[in-house]
Copies of this chain bind each other. A is one copy, B any other.
Amino acid sequence: MEHISFPPLSRVAICGGTHGNEMSGVYMVREMQQKPKADQVGSVSITTVLSNPRAVDACRRYIDKDLNRCFTDDLLSAPVTDSTPYELRRAQELNAQLGPKGSQEAVDVVCDLHNTTANMGLCFIFYSLDWITMHIYKYIKSRITSAPVRAIQLDIPMSEAYSLESVGKHGCAIEVGPQPGGVVRADIFNLVKEAVDLTIEWLQGFNSGSTFEGGEVEVYNMVKSVDYPRDPTTNEITAAIHPELQDNDFKLLHPGDPMFLKFSGEAVKHEGEELYPFFVNECAYYEKKIACHLGKKFNITIPSVSVKKD
């Protein structure tokens, strides 16, 4: 089986509060910032970042614009004027601090902590086939037993990758739920903490010369998004996610399965091919006109990896 070696991964950024009302990351970052000497663990230097401090203060997802949609090449190089949204300025600051995106100066790994109101357990989200990120996912999946661990791969070129983790040489969003916006749950916080600790543990092992065996990993990718049924006149939604779909993220949806329940009482069925639903009834996606994403599951064979020796 194939083997690939990489340079040492000595600089990692742990980011929280990219969405200001997703509280696990906010409290995780604050907790790490209070610990003495938490910025260097063995071979790994750790930068902790509260990504959107104004949104955190307001306990809202964002102030002017969703920060986690601002990291495309175009937006990161857009000129800043008086009317530039706060989040776009902040994205450029973060790119200067942790990137620049796509450069040799960028931190090795960006790990951005998110929450969702969907019942998704612990979910890695990454762009492209990044063997390092996929090995961290494989490592964490094999060690966390208190919740399901899954991965979603977004099929978007890096220049158009819009989220914070794309600024690092490697990176992923860690999405954990269900947790309401503005709320911190101890069970979800502990899950996030376990994932962060295991990420740092994996990086230590990698830097110290361990070989991590390859193999098959299971990944979901997105086929399409589905909007809520809406009133054609008012554009208001006329249905909620059906109780049989609610809380059943990643449970295969067959044609004819109920998908929505109208407020007037009738069910609306899923049409088309069998697909896996995720981000089911995510709070922040109402304004994006997304009731859930639907995707496919596939297996990827990843090579074994180890650190490149000088």
Which residues of chain A have a CB within 8 Å of any CB of chain B? Answer: 27-28, 30-31, 59-60, 117, 178-187, 189-190, 236-237, 240-243, 246, 261, 263-264, 281, 283-284, 286-287
Contacts and interface: CB of A to CB of B under 8 A. Distances in A.
A186 B261 contact: yes
A264 B187 contact: no
B264 A186 contact: no
Given A27-B240, A27-B263, A187-B243, 15 more contacts: A30-B263, A31-B263, A59-B286, A178-B180, A179-B180, A180-B180, A180-B181, A180-B183, A181-B181, A182-B286, A183-B281, A183-B283, A184-B237, A185-B281, A186-B241
Contacts of A190: 261
Contacts of A240: 27, 184-186, 189
A274 to B, nearest CB: 22
A30 B236 contact: yes
Contacts of A284: 182
A246 B185 CA distance: 8
Contacts of A261: 186, 190
Given A186-B246, A243-B186, A117 B180 contact: yes
Copies in the complex: 2
Nearest to A287: B59
28 contacts: A27-B237, A30-B263, A59-B286, A60-B60, A117-B180, A117-B183, A178-B180, A180-B180, A180-B183, A181-B181, A181-B182, A182-B283, A183-B281, A183-B283, A183-B286, A184-B237, A184-B240, A185-B240, A185-B246, A185-B281, A186-B240, A186-B241, A186-B243, A186-B246, A186-B261, A187-B243, A189-B240, A190-B261
Nearest to A244: B186
Contacts of A189: 240, 263
Contacts of A60: 60
Contacts of A184: 237, 240
B59 A180 contact: no
A284 B181 CA distance: 10
Contacts of A27: 237, 240, 263
